[in-house]
């Protein structure tokens, strides 16, 4: 799977340029026919045509006919953003029997007619098309990179996201190995009781999943295991795994990897809202455990044998932290994000308590209530009906917990309540519950080993939150669940389903076709300095090899295409310009700049 070539990039002079009216979206501001007249005179342009909608069948047919007749061998379409129709036009080129990578796009709607007007828009559209044409002239047919792929997926993390991903992949007949570092499956679900907003028992859902898993012979589970190393590339990864109990080492060869490494609950620092200093200050996870184990049937909730007459629930602990107000962790980081699930979980717990123990009064102290999901707002309404008292604090006036002067209560909570015009109140309480947020489990070692990006919030970072939400830039590695962002169990299962479909679709054929936008070495120019190897960001993607040319041994750079990220870090450092990125070459950018500075005349 290596790429080395002595092909020289040659320029073509048969570029076809197709300019779209977009039903007036472009032509209301850009004089499309004037642009066409200018473009057809540009050197290297064989035909320049216009159409009301280039994406329509007649528009695509125009390109196909010109390609089939041999009038053109490169295509530029000037229309809307490439994210909308780049694939449409590549497919049209394919249907003409040509290589889809001889295509370049000029964005004259979102980046011209929708933001500029009159002659300015017409002139800019001309220059952008000239620039696209300059790039197109150096495009060459490319073939997708084909790699054999093992029909096997490894899921790292045995929480609800990992289990759901494993089940959904196994259903497609692909082998699955699930690796969990602890002794049991289920992750954070093991610590939950009744899930918001439906009220189902977390243990029932988990049991249903586990019952399903045993029915799949193609799922192998390893608990108490640590991953020591990950090597290889899409279709052919190798994981070095070691068991925690007896240090036994083994390998897993796999085609794709899904990161489902989950999250942990934020631990307040010593003294944060009295945590660690007063035994009556607990976190939400502890309250859920108490409710889960509680067998009392009186009208007042009892905790450690003591009746809880009044309790305070404080929201946003360890979430939505603000620089200068909240104390950073040892690493200097703050959790500036919303943990999303705590509001619903707090209200769910409050409703359970008020409905089962009406003698226990509850004060919810919040900054904002964010019951965003389906059915969650009903929890808030229900809590109001259940006479939960809501008080709102601002971030710069956090509630304070101190011993109570009243003999019947161990603590009091002082709050400046913005719902009552910042009235200061002391609430005597028997119990304080902190809604601690979600933090990603620390997988920095694994992420560094696999070159996976981590966001500023410390969660694993997808390629794009909307366009490619469960993929990493490392092809064949996906992510699901709360390792990516705070999610509830339902959302984690949604992400797991998406990751499973992506992994299954990738592996189902037994081979993978990768985008050909990878580095390519010009073997004649390469002097074997190795600067590119040093600059390469992906271990193993570039190496220096010895090769014999005319009886002499030379060092030459060699690309392993399946590992190459196509970022171009190598191209920037080669003194001979002997390495470049197929389809996104430095030389093409230089030509584009020439076209821009000359207003299209240098094309």
Partner 1 sequence: MMSPQAKRQENKILILATETCAYPGADSVGQTHSSYPANTYILRVRAPVLFPESFYIDCFKKGISGIIVMSCGEECPYEGAYKAMAKRLDSVYKKMKAMKLDLKRLRLTAICTVCNRAFLNEVKQMDQLVQELGPPQLMA
**Per rule CB under 8 A, is residue 584 in the interface with partner 1?**
yes
Kindly tell me which of 104 and 180 has the beta carbon lying closer to partner 1.
104
- As a whole number of Å, the end-to-end CA separation of the chain is 36
Q: How far apart are CA 299 and CA 359, in angstroms?
A: 5
CB 575 within 8 A of CB 567: no
Does 586 engage in binding with partner 1 (CB under 8 A)? yes
Rounded to a whole number of angstroms, the minimum distance from the CB of residue 505 to partner 1 is 20
Minimum distance from residue 274 beta carbon to partner 1 (Å): 35
Strand ordering across the sheet containing 400-403: 400-403, 411-417, 423-429
Query: How far is 63 from 37, CA to CA, in rounded Å?
Result: 18
Among 53, 114, 390, 409, interactor with partner 1 by CB under 8 A: 114
Which residues, including other chains, have CB under 8 Å from residue 581's CB and lie 6 or more apart? 517, 518, 519, 520, 566, 568, 571
For residue 526, the number of C-alpha atoms closer than 13 Å in the C-beta half-sphere is 30
Angle at 489 between CA 272 and CA 257, to 5 degrees: 105
Write a three-state SS string for 158-200. Answer: CEHHHHHHHHHHHCCCCEEEEECCCCCCEHHHHHCCECCCCCC
Q: Is 532 in the site for partner 1 (CB under 8 A)?
A: no
Per rule CB under 8 A, is residue 83 in the interface with partner 1?
yes
Choice between 342 and 578, CB closer to partner 1: 578
Q: Which of 3, 28, 61, 110 binds partner 1 (CB under 8 A)?
A: 110
DSSP state string for 190-250: GG--BPTTT--BHHHHHHHHHHHHTT-TTEEEE-SEEEEEEEEETTEEEEEEEETTT--EE
Residue 369 as a binder of partner 1 (CB under 8 A): the answer is no
Say if residues 94 and 75 touch (Cβ distance below 8 Å). Answer: no
If one asks whether residue 79 binds partner 1 (CB under 8 A), the answer comes out as no
Is 334 one of the binding residues for partner 1 (CB under 8 A)?
A: no
Work out whether 120 is an interface residue with partner 1 (CB under 8 A): yes
* Binding of residue 131 to partner 1 (CB under 8 A): yes
Strand partners, 4: 521
Site string for partner 1, 133-172 (x = CB under 8 A): ----------------------------------------
Q: At what angle do helices 32-39 and 118-137 cross, to 10 degrees?
A: 40
Using the minimum distance from each CB to partner 1, give the nearer residue, 156 or 574: 574
600 makes contact with partner 1 (CB under 8 A): no
Instruction: Report the nearest approach of partner 1 to the CB of residue 60 (Å).
Output: 22
Q: Does 34 contact partner 1 by CB under 8 A?
A: no
C-alpha torsion sign, points 61, 585, 514, 161 = negative
Range in contact with partner 1 (rule: CB under 8 A) among 78-86, 197-205, 240-248, 397-405? 78-86
CA distance 347 to 363: 11
Residue 378 touching partner 1 (CB under 8 A): no
Nearer to partner 1, 67 or 125 (CB): 125
Residue closer to partner 1 by CB (options 197, 469) is 469
* 295-300 long-range Cβ contacts below 8 angstroms, 24+ apart: 298/357, 298/359, 299/357, 299/358, 299/359, 300/357, 300/359, 300/360
Q: Which of 50, 79, 107, 484 binds partner 1 (CB under 8 A)?
A: 107
Residue choice 13, 91, 279, 590 for contact with partner 1 (CB under 8 A): 590
Q: Is 565 in the site for partner 1 (CB under 8 A)?
A: yes
The secondary structure element, H or E, covering residue 594 is helix 586-597
Residue 464 contacts partner 1 per CB under 8 A: yes
Query: x/- site string to partner 1, residues 442 to 461, per CB under 8 A?
Result: ---------xxx-xx----x
* Contacting range for partner 1; rule: CB under 8 A; set: 226-234, 239-247, 407-415, 583-591: 583-591
8-state DSSP, 1? -
Q: Residues 12, 46, 61, 82: which binds partner 1 (CB under 8 A)?
A: 82
Name the pairing type of β-strands 236-243 and 225-233.
Answer: antiparallel
Q: Which is nearer to partner 1, 360 or 588 (CB)?
A: 588
Q: How far is the CB of 54 from partner 1 (least distance, A)?
A: 17
Q: Kindly state whether residue 85 participates in binding partner 1, applying the rule CB under 8 A.
A: no
Among 5, 115, 271, 298, binds partner 1 (CB under 8 A): 115
- Cα 391 from Cα 381, distance rounded (Å): 15
Give the one residue of 268, 373, 428, 473 binding partner 1; rule: CB under 8 A.
Answer: 473
CB of 481 to partner 1, least distance (A): 19
Q: How far is the CB of 209 from partner 1 (least distance, A)?
A: 32
Report DSSP letters for 112-148, one per residue: IITT--HHHHHHHHHHHHHHHHHHHHT-----PEEEE
Of positions 50, 79, 123, 341, contacts partner 1 by CB under 8 A: 123
- 102/232 Cα distance (integer angstroms): 31
Secondary structure letter of residue 263 according to DSSP: E
Task: Confirm or reject binding of residue 38 to partner 1 (CB under 8 A).
Answer: no
Strands 389-392 and 361-366: parallel
In the complex, minimum distance from the CB of residue 463 to partner 1, in angstroms, rounded to a whole number: 5
**Among residues 537, 540, 549, 576, the one that binds partner 1 under rule CB under 8 A:** 537
d(C-alpha 377, C-alpha 20), whole Å: 47
Report the alpha-carbon distance of residue 575 to residue 522 in Å, rounded: 13
C-alpha–C-alpha distance, residues 148 and 155, integer Å:
20
- Residue 463 makes contact with partner 1 by CB under 8 A: yes
Per-residue string for binding with partner 1, 212-241, x by CB under 8 A?
A: ------------------------------
Position 111 contacts partner 1 (CB under 8 A): yes
Q: Interaction with partner 1 in 266-305: which residues (CB under 8 A)? A: none
Interface positions, 396-415, toward partner 1 (CB under 8 A):
none
Paired strand residues for 512: 147
| Residue 571 near partner 1 by CB under 8 A | yes
- Taking the least distance from each CB to partner 1, the nearer of 131 and 177 is 131
What is the nearest approach in angstroms of partner 1 to the Cβ of residue 90? 15
- Between CA 442 and CA 164 the distance in angstroms is 22
Contact residues for partner 1 (CB under 8 A)? 81-83, 107, 109-111, 114-117, 119-121, 123-124, 127-128, 131, 451-453, 455-456, 461, 463-467, 472-473, 517, 535, 537, 565-569, 571-573, 581, 584, 586, 589-590, 592-594, 596-597, 599
């Amino acid at each position: 799977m290596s790429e080395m070539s002595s092909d020289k990039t040659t320029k073509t002079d048969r570029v076809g340029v197709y300019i779209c009216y977009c039903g007036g979206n472009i032509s209301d501001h850009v004089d499309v026919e004037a642009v066409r007249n200018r473009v057809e005179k540009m050197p290297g342009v064989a035909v320049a045509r216009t159409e009301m909608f280039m994406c329509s069948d007649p528009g695509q047919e125009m390109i196909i006919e010109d390609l089939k007749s041999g009038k053109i061998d490169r295509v530029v379409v000037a229309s809307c953003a490439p994210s909308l129709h780049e694939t449409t036009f590549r497919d049209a080129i394919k249907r003409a029997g040509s290589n889809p990578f001889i295509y370049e796009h000029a964005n004259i709607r979102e980046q011209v007619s929708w933001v500029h007007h009159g002659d300015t828009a017409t002139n800019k559209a001309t220059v952008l098309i000239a620039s696209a044409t300059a790039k197109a002239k150096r495009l060459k047919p490319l073939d997708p990179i084909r790699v054999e792929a093992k029909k096997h997926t490894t899921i790292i993390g045995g929480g609800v996201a990992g289990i759901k991903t494993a089940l959904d992949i196994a259903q497609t007949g692909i082998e699955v190995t699930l690796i969990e570092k602890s002794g049991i499956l289920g992750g954070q679900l093991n610590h939950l009781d009744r899930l918001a907003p439906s009220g189902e028992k977390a243990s029932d859902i988990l049991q249903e999943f586990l019952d399903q898993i045993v029915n799949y012979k193609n799922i192998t589970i390893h608990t108490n295991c640590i991953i020591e190393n990950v090597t290889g590339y899409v279709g052919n990864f190798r994981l070095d795994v070691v068991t925690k109990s007896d240090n036994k080492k083994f390998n897993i060869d796999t085609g794709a990897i899904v990161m489902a490494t989950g999250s942990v609950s934020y631990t307040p620092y010593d003294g944060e809202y009295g945590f660690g200093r007063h035994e009556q200050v607990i976190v939400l996870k502890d309250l859920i455990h108490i409710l889960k184990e509680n067998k009392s049937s009186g009208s007042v909730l009892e905790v450690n044998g003591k009746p809880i007459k009044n309790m305070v629930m404080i929201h946003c602990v360890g979430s939505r932290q603000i620089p200068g107000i909240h104390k950073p962790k040892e690493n200097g980081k703050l959790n500036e994000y919303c943990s999303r699930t705590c509001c619903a979980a707090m209200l769910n717990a409050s409703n359970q308590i008020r409905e089962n123990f009406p003698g226990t009064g509850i004060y919810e102290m919040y900054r904002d209530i964010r019951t965003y999901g389906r059915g969650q707002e009903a929890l808030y309404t229900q809590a109001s009906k259940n006479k939960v008292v809501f008080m709102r604090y601002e971030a710069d006036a956090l509630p304070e917990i101190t011993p109570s002067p009243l003999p019947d209560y161990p603590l009091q909570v002082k709050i400046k309540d913005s719902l009552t015009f910042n009235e200061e109140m002391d609430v005597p309480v028997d119990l304080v519950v902190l809604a601690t947020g979600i933090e990603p489990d620390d997988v920095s070692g694994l992420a560094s080993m696999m070159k996976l990006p981590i966001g500023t919030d410390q969660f694993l970072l997808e390629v794009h939150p909307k366009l490619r939400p469960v993929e990493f830039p490392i092809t064949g590695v996906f992510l699901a669940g709360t390792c990516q962002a705070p999610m509830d169990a339902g959302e984690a299962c949604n992400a797991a389903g998406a990751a499973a479909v992506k992994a299954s679709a990738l592996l189902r054929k037994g081979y993978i076709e990768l985008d050909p936008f990878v580095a390519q070495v010009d073997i004649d120019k390469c002097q074997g300095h190795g600067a590119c190897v040093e600059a390469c960001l992906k271990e193993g993607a570039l190496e220096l090899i010895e090769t014999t040319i005319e009886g002499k041994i030379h060092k030459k750079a060699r690309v392993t295409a399946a590992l190459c990220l196509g970022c171009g870090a190598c191209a920037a450092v080669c003194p001979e310009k002997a390495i470049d990125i197929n389809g996104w070459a430095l030389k093409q950018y230089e030509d584009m700049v020439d076209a821009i500075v000359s207003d299209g005349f240098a094309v």
